[in-house]
Structure 1
Amino acid sequence: MSGRRALCKDSNVTYEVTVNDGVYADSTIIKDISKQGKFVEDDDSDPPVVFFCGSCKLPVGDSLSWAGSEDEKNQILLKRVSDNVLVGEETHFSGTCKKDLGCLKVHLTCRGCSSLLGMVYISTPRKLDHIRSLFCLNVTAIESYVLGSSSQQVAAVSPKQQPVTLEYRQAVERQLDEIKAVTLSMGQRLLVLEDRIFGLVQLGCSL
């Protein structure tokens, strides 16, 4: 069985998958950013769809890499994802669903907020060949926007709903660290003042 490889037309990450033969087929996910090209899609009248992390609204993929869906598991299948999706290194044994019992998988998480987005099956029985090495995103963990659609909005209407970028998150963390440092300094000063007051009280009582 040959491996699957999707090429992206921009700087997004391409994952090249190598598959070995056997009763259980294993796949190796290789991060490849050296190859660039145009992904060929069948003619389709439907406009492209962009998928976002449901928590922080970072883009995680699009319909140009569509590979299908798993209605029973409430997942969509993509051949490639953006570099905002982190592929886990730790493998997990799938035993929660009868259909994928005995499969090995790795988790997919959002780079921006660490939310669990889905999984990649790296070892499956032959009957699940069609989903192995694809990016299986949970529908409940993502949002979508149809390009050119006026009926769907992902733009924030208030500052509280603005997408959280990595730069914004880092700035907030720096501010929190500064506030924490000031709070600790004030706490230490209060302790010194309390010790001095206590000493004065003790001195007054002894006179």
Structure 2
Amino acid sequence: MAAREKSLKHRQKVVNTTFESSIDSTAVEEKLFGHAEVDEDGDDGPVVFICGKCKLPVGDSMSWDGSEDGQNQIRLKRVTDNVVVGEDTRLHEASKRSLCLIVDLFCRGCHTVLGMVYTSTPKNLDHKRFAFYFSVADIDSYVLGSASQMLAAEGPKEQPVTLEYRGIVEQQLTEMKMLVMSMAQRLEEIDTGLQDESDVA
């Protein structure tokens, strides 16, 4: 038990200084998947992750692989073509005795660094390879189906075009046509009457 507490304290001290942020990745994970655990019938839909700067989509929750405690990162198994894996490898200290080689992840649209990929790790961190790590500070998210703004319907002109509604409109148009034709015929009769009077005079 004491060893476990010591391990937890050690994990809490480990901070990835590459991605300093005030956003907690565990809060993001709870927001994304906490409702699914509590309420199976929740209204939350899939989440699309987008570049925080230019808003290009970089991945979605269908590829979710978890989050990194205390490092403000989320982990995805797959990403979109808008994510470019860098070529320059650099050293990264995952913990005091764990040096890793990583490459940066860039946004194809604005070239912002969004996260990293572990290319070489010590044996105890092998699980970190084969995943895309995104800094929570550099990405945003959008929950599909969360749109709520609608235009208010105003009067009958905003009614949906149903067969019944279409029939009413066609009937009104026919009545208006008959009225216009009747008025045109009446004007023609008046015009003819006026011409006859002028011929007599």
Structure 1 or 2: more helix by fraction: 2
Structure 1 or 2: more strand by fraction: 1
Q: Which has the larger radius of gyration?
A: 2
TM-score (norm 1): 0.49
